């Protein structure tokens, strides 16, 4: 690789890593190139090479879908979001959207009623807020609503959610391993006790001579069933 091309790839790497982390959604190399080429003047070859290097370095993840590679941010760096958190965000988005629509409708009524008497139900609102103030609040609500929408989209695009089935599988495997642990510990204890019946030294000396290490040596304790 020439020096100029290597510098282009190095420059693109920082831009691409920041973009994937901020967006937190999967993209193909073509998607990334199309989204960033105009703003940063990136070349497609540099984008493809930089994405591959970032994936090889473990800074991002890649998956093959048919013949196409998809790249996305490493989800380990993001906090795990529960279903309850997703429901709260959904509720906030619905509430903010309804409020925006209500204020927009009120603005339209007030604009239409400038030459005449405003509707009776809007008199209290009109006395409290001027039209510019209402427009400002609408813009603020739109911005807040867009923020929640983007956050929810990023969360739903994340790949680190644990399904109930996966959680149950982990619990089953834990129980299986703990059961095997107890079984083997019991067998080892019974075997050592049988040997110690005719052994002239203490149990501690026997373990030291044979090289047996116990759970207690490492402060390990079997989990509760």
The predicted pLDDT at position 199 comes to 76
Q: Which of 57-61, 126-130, 149-153 shows the lowest mean pLDDT across its residues?
A: 126-130
Indicate if the pLDDT at residue 192 is higher than 60.
Answer: yes
Q: Is 80 exceeded by the pLDDT of residue 3?
A: no
Tell me what pLDDT residue 111 has: 60
Per-residue pLDDT band at 187 (split at 50, 70, 90): confident
Whether 18 has a pLDDT exceeding 80, the answer reads yes
For 64-87, write each residue's pLDDT tens digit.
877 788 898 887 776 666 677 777
- Return contacts of 46-50, CB within 8 angstroms, 24+ apart: 46/5, 46/8, 46/9, 46/11, 46/12, 47/12, 47/16, 49/5, 49/9, 49/12, 50/9, 50/10, 50/12, 50/13, 50/16
The CA angle 52-53-59, to the nearest 5 degrees, is 100
84-127 pLDDT per residue, tens: 777 777 777 777 877 777 777 777 666 655 544 445 544 554 44
Measured in degrees and rounded to the nearest 5, phi and psi for residue 129 equal -130, 130
Smallest CA-to-CA distance from 72 within 55, 56, 57, 50 is with: 55
With tokens 């940063």, the residue in question is 40
Average pLDDT, the chain: 76
pTM, two decimals, is 0.37
């Amino acid at each position: 690789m020439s020096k100029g091309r290597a510098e282009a790839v190095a420059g693109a790497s920082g831009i691409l890593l920041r973009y994937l982390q901020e967006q937190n959604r999967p993209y193909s190399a073509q998607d990334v190139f199309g989204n960033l080429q105009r703003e940063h003047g990136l070349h497609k070859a540099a984008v493809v090479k930089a994405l591959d290097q970032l994936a090889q370095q473990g800074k991002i993840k890649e998956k093959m879908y048919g013949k196409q590679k998809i790249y996305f941010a490493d989800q380990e760096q993001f906090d795990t979001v529960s279903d309850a958190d997703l429901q709260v965000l959904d509720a906030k988005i619905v509430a903010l959207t309804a409020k925006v629509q209500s204020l927009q409708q009120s603005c339209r009524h007030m604009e239409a009623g400038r030459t005449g008497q405003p509707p009776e139900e809007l008199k209290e609102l009109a006395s409290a807020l001027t039209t510019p103030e209402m427009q400002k609040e609408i813009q603020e609500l739109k911005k807040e609503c867009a923020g929640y929408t983007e956050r929810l989209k990023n969360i739903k695009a994340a790949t680190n959610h644990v399904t109930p089935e996966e959680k149950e599988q982990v619990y089953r495997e834990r129980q299986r391993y703990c059961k095997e642990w107890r079984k083997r510990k019991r067998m080892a204890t019974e075997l050592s006790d049988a040997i110690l019946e005719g052994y002239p030294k203490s149990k501690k000396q026997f373990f030291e001579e044979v090289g047996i290490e116990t759970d207690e040596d490492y402060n390990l304790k079997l989990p509760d069933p």
